[in-house]
Amino acid sequence: MLRKLSLVLLLFVAFAAVAAELEVGAKAPAFALTNAVDGKQVAFTPADGKLKVVVFTCNQCPYAKAFEGRLVSLGSDYAKKGVAFYAIDPNDDNQYAIESMDNMRSRAKDHGYPYPYLKDADSKVATAYGARVTPHVFVVDGKGVIRYRGYVDDSAKPEERTHTGLADALDSLIGNHDIKVNATKAFGCSIKWKA
Amino acid sequence: MITLLLALTLAAKPADISRVPAKPAKLRVVNIWATWCVPCVHEMDDLRELSKTKDVDFAGISMDDVIPGDRKTTRNKVEKFLASKRITYPNYYYTGAQNALVDAFDFSGELPVTIVYDRAGKELFRVQGAIEKKTFGEKLNQLLKR
């Protein structure tokens, strides 16, 4: 009986740890995290009147790395249109040293990140958003509402791309149009949750 | 779903289609994975052991190809990995559109995912994330006894 109860409890904890992905229309959670690039605290204020992109990514995932150049390019292009990108590494750096702040700083500098690279050391922000994989993006409007969630593009191979989910969402919002596809399935490496 | 699986994997140029059994076993287990996926690599030894279960056919689908790179090199890497893990059940190297596979198997996009079907192709259960060998084995045995 005790064994059964322990198993049920264990299952409950396991399920509780992975929160549901926030839906389009939900309020985006606020957060304050340390930017690995300069060690400064960055506050994300959802209803700040600006269009924002929150992207969960990391140092170790080959799939996330395949999107790195694309995100740098999008971050740079859309910054000119007033969109702020926030890259967040939610992976546990105790289990995976590659996800340390030092390695994040090096990565951001080497690849010219035009946005802060924030450490979500206890994966709490990833949990609050219901992020599951890297990369996993959420577009938040000026009122703090999630307007798009899912993948950056439907393929990491530019020649096979048929849907540029993130760029389409940003273009629609900037142009004041409806987003045709506002929720997609983020594909990538599972988040390495804090043990 | 089995038909869909075969259609997809055939389109994806399976490594060795001759090994797909003509008569499906009582249960079929499909594991979707990639060499770059840490939990996928970790569960591979357990899957090899579980694949010895009588009346259960295992099949793997590698999604390594979704990462840009030379296809031949990536495919070789997958084959070498499978050989190093002594995996003998059929494994398919998927080269189609990433989302087509994600949608066909209706999973979140997080690897690995392991799905169990009955002989008719009806899904019985799935594990999102790495399997736990003992629990998964017990579940298979339970289903075999139905």
Average pLDDT, chain B: 85
Q: Reduced to 3 states, what is the DSSP secondary structure of residue A145?
A: strand
Domain ranges across chain B:
2-15+26-141
Q: Reduced to 3 states, what is the DSSP secondary structure of residue A70?
A: helix
Q: Reduced to 3 states, what is the DSSP secondary structure of residue B71?
A: helix
**Model confidence pLDDT, tens digit, residues A100-139:** 999 999 999 999 999 999 999 999 999 999 999 999 999 9
**Model confidence pLDDT, tens digit, residues B28-51:** 999 999 999 999 999 999 999 999
Average confidence (pLDDT) over A133-153: 98
Whether residue B110 and residue A160 make contact (CB cut-off 8 A), yes or no, is no
- pTM above 0.90? no
- Domains and their CATH numbers in chain A: 19-190 (3.40.30.10)
Best residue in B99, B132, B134 for a mutation probing chain A (most A CBs within 10 Å): B99
> What separation in angstroms does the CA of A25 have from each of A51, A122, A149, A150, B109?
14, 26, 10, 14, 22
**Model confidence pLDDT, tens digit, residues B83-123:** 999 999 999 999 888 888 898 899 888 999 999 999 888 99
Q: With an 8 Å Cβ cutoff, is A105 touching chain B?
A: no
Question: To 10 degrees, the CA torsion angle through B76, B78, B83, B84?
Answer: 110
Take residue B56 and report the two structure tokens written for it: 């259960």
* CATH no. for B2-15+26-141: 3.40.30.10
Within 8 A of A91 by CB-CB distance, chain B residues are none
> Tell me, what's the ipTM?
0.81
Average confidence (pLDDT) over A20-41: 97
pLDDT for the residue numbered B22: 56
Residue A12 has pLDDT above 70, yes or no: no
pLDDT for the residue numbered B8: 47
Residue B17 has pLDDT above 90, yes or no: no
